[in-house]
Amino acid sequence: MKYKDYYAALGVGRDADTEQIKKAYRKLARKHHPDVSKAPEAEARFKEVAEAYQTLKDPEKRAAYDELGRRPAGEEFAPPPQWSRDFGGGAQSFEDIDLADLLDALGRGQRGGARRGPVPMHGRDYETTARISLEDAHRGTRLNLDLADAEGGRTLEVTIPSGVSEGQKLRLRGKGGKGRNGGPDGDIYLHITLAPHPVFRPDQHDLHFDLALAPWEAALGAEIEVPTLDGPVLLTVPPGTRSGRKLRLRGRGLANGRGGHGDLYATVHIEVPTTLSDRERELFKQLADASRFNPRSVVAKEKAS
């Protein structure tokens, strides 16, 4: 189904009252009437204006039309899924149905049936995205959402619970469009996305970060202070730790919303000093003379095994 911008067709704002809509229609209808205008597109414009007026002059049809929100004219779209229910099964599929015909079906219990009065209609559901920090995902937060809807726009304060993760969808019941004729209000579906963090990389509720070690810390082992979202803790680096190894701190990741936490993984990177003092150079030379360690032979053995 293609979207038609009835307000643009009449040249009025979405807040225009009934009298403004009627005045605009009469002016345009006289201008484009085929008996008056000889322009090639006159008849098409006349029909477009008449169709727009037939919808916007009817409060029930106008409310249903406004529920669709704003879209570019001619854009393909599907009406809200609850419309199939609201029209009593008269629009099981919206393929090849004209927007005007669909709006004309308002208030009918069955296709072609007798008008039975206003049908309760479920308010429109909305979807939006909330971009939050890892700290807010871990502890929970409150934020204000600016929403553009059929009522023109509003700000909604939303509570984000502790334990949300990337890609999670929160349902805010009854916070969407207003129901009509006694129908329930719609919902808002809030998609969570996490902002990049300078230290941690999230994987669901686990966190990963890079841990730089000096050669002697990796060889001898060490107690290293590392960051977490709840403050620094001590990590035990086992002797003989190699570059690329992942060291796990259980329960130090993101809160999972069920009273637990993910894990924290430190990926080891061994860094060597780029400048050496005379004493450091002497010690490294002594180590080179004394050590029989050959990293290339170790790698070759691992590949052969």
Q: Which CATH class is domain 201-304?
A: mainly beta
The amino acid at 132: I
- For domain 6-104, give the CATH number: 1.10.287.110
pLDDT for the residue 92 = 44
pLDDT for the residue 150 = 59
pLDDT for the residue 180 = 72
State the Cα–Cα distance between residues 304 and 239, nearest whole angstrom: 25
Q: Are strands 264-270 and 206-213 parallel, antiparallel or unpaired?
A: parallel
Q: What residue ranges of the chain are covered by domains with CATH 2.60.260.20?
A: 126-194, 201-304
173 and 110 Cβ atoms separated by less than 8 Å: no
pTM: 0.60
pLDDT tens sequence for the chain (305 residues): 678 899 999 999 988 999 999 999 999 988 888 777 888 888 888 888 988 998 898 888 888 888 777 878 878 777 766 665 555 444 445 555 567 766 766 544 433 444 445 556 677 788 889 999 999 999 999 999 887 765 667 888 999 999 999 999 999 999 888 777 777 888 899 999 999 999 999 999 999 999 999 999 999 999 999 999 999 999 999 999 999 999 999 999 999 989 999 999 999 999 999 999 999 999 999 999 999 888 887 666 666 66
pLDDT for the residue 40 = 84
State the Cα–Cα distance between residues 216 and 291, nearest whole angstrom: 14
State the Cα–Cα distance between residues 263 and 281, nearest whole angstrom: 39
pLDDT for the residue 192 = 95
DSSP H or E run through 84: helix 83-86
State the Cα–Cα distance between residues 161 and 173, nearest whole angstrom: 15
Q: What residue ranges of the chain are covered by domains with CATH 1.10.287.110?
A: 6-104
* Three-state DSSP state, 279: helix
Residue of 219, 222, 227 whose CA lies nearest to 199:
227
CATH superfamily of 126-194: Urease metallochaperone UreE, N-terminal domain (2.60.260.20)
